Amino acid sequence: MKMSELFDRGEARIRWIRSRMPLLADARTEFAARQPFAGRRVGMSLHLEPKTAVLLEVLAAGGAEIVATGNFGTTQDDVVAFLRGQGMTVLGSRDDSLEQHHGNVAAVIDAKPDILLDNGADLAAGIVAAGMADSVIGGTEETTSGALRLRSELAGKLPFPTIVINDSLLKAIGENRHAVGQSVVESIMRITNLMIPGGRFVVAGYGWCGRGIAQYLRAFGGRVAIAEVDEIKAFEAALDGYRVDELENLAEWGQVFVTATGHPGVITRDIIDRINDGAVLANAGHFPWEIDVDALYADAERLTELDSAIERVDLPGGRHIVLLAGGRMVNLAGTNPKGNSLESMDLGFLLQSLSLERVATDPESLLAGAQPVPDDIEREIARRFVRALSANR
Ligand code: NAI
């Protein structure tokens, strides 16, 4: 595709997404007036897709000079073309090799950003390794895995504050519970074309994501059981009206199994041995390690790809299992995955915007190192979100 065609495509997609993100639209107007980032260079490493583009427009409206790269393998070239057309320095393309991607991250660091918008702590680690940490006034970190790095290998090495967006209670409720719940159930329905009402579902993990998945399955009329290792969460699930039991005991009851624990080895070979003929296995957790796919494949007599992101695994003895997305995140798999809802990303990126504004305008109010989103920002965004829900669109 020619550069101008890529730009046009990016522009059309971003225009649509922008119109569905009212919180960011308001932030853009406010930032244009307040100019919190005037004279500041923001270095970013985050998935380059249309919703991220709307966030970058907000920061640019606030006076930021943007130097950005995407994450490995997920960069959307039309989005890059559009953002470059807005005068931003945007590095990377979908076909970049891992080496090129590392080169792009290094180029963002070489541009000497004052503020970091990080994903997985790559920029923070690079800045520390380059001995440039003193020139940064602060930043944000999007993910839990990045926060873990900031609190372990980078602990005590960051003289500047980093606000961890994933520590936010608003994000846990709005995204992990409600948006993941909705999109995981929608994905299972779309990929399998199975009926939810009356079906028997086992959700492993009753954390933020598991609660949402269970809630939306039940809302569609599914019968839902929970397997949870934490006694308090199991107690909560029981009082929320779910059957609660060990996975071993639910193996023969369930027809669809969804893992959402963040931990490896949840659906083990032992569980696979016990589950019913035709059972469906899906994972919502970040890493593809919750279902023991290697054991499943090792035992397989035959593997048949039924459609995009759905595979039939025939096992000895005449049983078969249906595996979704190869055990990777089911709501980001298959053709045209939608991921989490636009509204939840509007929420998450407003957390980013207002947190970055705090870093830029009042860094003294923050501590050095990783920390949660300031409480006043959480409450302000909660108020705005509820207001936006009742507004006419
Ligand atoms: P969480 O920490 O709130 O919940 C995880 C729950 O799993 C905990 O209650 C824990 O006790 C339980 N658990 C751990 N091992 C277990 C086992 N063997 N059997 C049963 N329960 C077990 O975490 P959250 O926020 O719910 O995230 C879960 C996973 O989903 C993470 O990997 C996270 O990265 C991922 N995630 C996926 C998204 C998506 O779009 N698919 C979006 C956000 C998070």
Per-residue pLDDT of the chain (393 residues; tens, 9 = 90+): 788 999 999 999 999 999 999 999 999 999 999 999 999 999 999 989 899 999 999 999 999 999 999 988 878 999 999 999 999 999 999 889 999 999 999 999 999 999 999 998 999 999 999 999 999 999 999 988 899 999 999 999 999 999 999 999 999 999 999 999 999 999 999 999 999 999 999 999 999 999 999 999 999 999 999 999 999 999 999 999 999 999 999 999 999 999 999 999 999 999 999 999 999 999 999 888 999 999 999 999 999 999 989 999 999 999 999 999 999 999 988 777 777 899 999 999 999 999 999 999 999 999 999 999 999 999 999 999 999 988 865
* Tens digit of each residue's pLDDT (9 = 90 or more) over 176-198: 999 999 999 999 999 999 999 99
Residue closest by Cα to atom 12 of ligand 1: 205
The closest-lying atom of ligand 1 relative to the alpha carbon of residue 286 is 32
Q: Is ligand 1 within 6 A of the CB of residue 337?
A: no
Angle 375-390/22-34 helices, nearest 10 degrees?
Answer: 130
What DSSP string describes 55-98? HHHHHHHTTPEEEEE--TTT--HHHHHHHHHTT-EEE--TT--H
Q: Output the CA–CA distances (angstroms, integers) from residue 39 to 63, 91, 354, in the order listed.
A: 7, 21, 18
315 torsion bin: left (phi>0), alpha (psi -120 to 50), beta (else): beta
Rounded Cα–Cα distance for residues 356 and 59 (Å): 9
Among residues 136, 132, 168, 129, the alpha carbon closest in space to that of 363 is found at: 136
Q: Is ligand 1 within 6 A of the CB of residue 329?
A: yes
Half-sphere exposure of 223 (CA within 13 A, CB side): 8
The closest-lying atom of ligand 1 relative to the alpha carbon of residue 330 is 41
Q: Is ligand 1 within 6 A of the CB of residue 250?
A: no
Measure 44 CA to ligand 1 centroid, in angstroms: 27
User: Could you tell me if 135 and 112 are in contact, meaning their C-beta atoms sit under 8 angstroms apart?
Assistant: yes
Residue closest by Cα to atom 4 of ligand 1: 207
Rounded Cα–Cα distance for residues 144 and 195 (Å): 34
pLDDT value for 339: 78
Q: Is ligand 1 within 6 A of the CB of residue 204?
A: yes
From first CA to last CA, the distance across the chain in angstroms is: 34
The closest-lying atom of ligand 1 relative to the alpha carbon of residue 339 is 40
Q: Is ligand 1 within 6 A of the CB of residue 205?
A: yes
Residue closest by Cα to atom 34 of ligand 1: 286
The one-letter code for the residue type at 355 is S
Measure 232 CA to ligand 1 centroid, in angstroms: 15
- Copy the structure tokens of residue 313: 């695994």
Measure 208 CA to ligand 1 centroid, in angstroms: 7
Mutate to test the pocket of ligand 1, among 209, 228, 232, 233 (most ligand atoms within 8 A of CB): 209
User: Could you tell me if 351 and 29 are in contact, meaning their C-beta atoms sit under 8 angstroms apart?
Assistant: no
The closest-lying atom of ligand 1 relative to the alpha carbon of residue 206 is 9
The closest-lying atom of ligand 1 relative to the alpha carbon of residue 263 is 15
Residue closest by Cα to atom 11 of ligand 1: 230
Question: Whole-model pTM?
Answer: 0.90
Rounded Cα–Cα distance for residues 236 and 259 (Å): 18
* Tens digit of each residue's pLDDT (9 = 90 or more) over 249-267: 999 999 999 999 999 999 9
User: Could you tell me if 257 and 275 are in contact, meaning their C-beta atoms sit under 8 angstroms apart?
Assistant: yes
pLDDT value for 393: 58
pLDDT value for 337: 77
User: Could you tell me if 187 and 333 are in contact, meaning their C-beta atoms sit under 8 angstroms apart?
Assistant: yes
In sequence order, the 6+-apart residues with CB closer than 8 A to the CB of 137 are 40, 114, 115, 160, 359, 360, 363
Rounded Cα–Cα distance for residues 315 and 303 (Å): 9
Among residues 182, 133, 203, the alpha carbon closest in space to that of 162 is found at: 133
Measure 201 CA to ligand 1 centroid, in angstroms: 17
pLDDT value for 145: 83
Q: Is ligand 1 within 6 A of the CB of residue 182?
A: no
pLDDT value for 370: 95
Measure 111 CA to ligand 1 centroid, in angstroms: 36
The one-letter code for the residue type at 158 is L
Q: Is ligand 1 within 6 A of the CB of residue 225?
A: no
pLDDT value for 47: 86
User: Could you tell me if 41 and 10 are in contact, meaning their C-beta atoms sit under 8 angstroms apart?
Assistant: no
The closest-lying atom of ligand 1 relative to the alpha carbon of residue 331 is 41
Residues β-bridged to residue 202: 225, 257
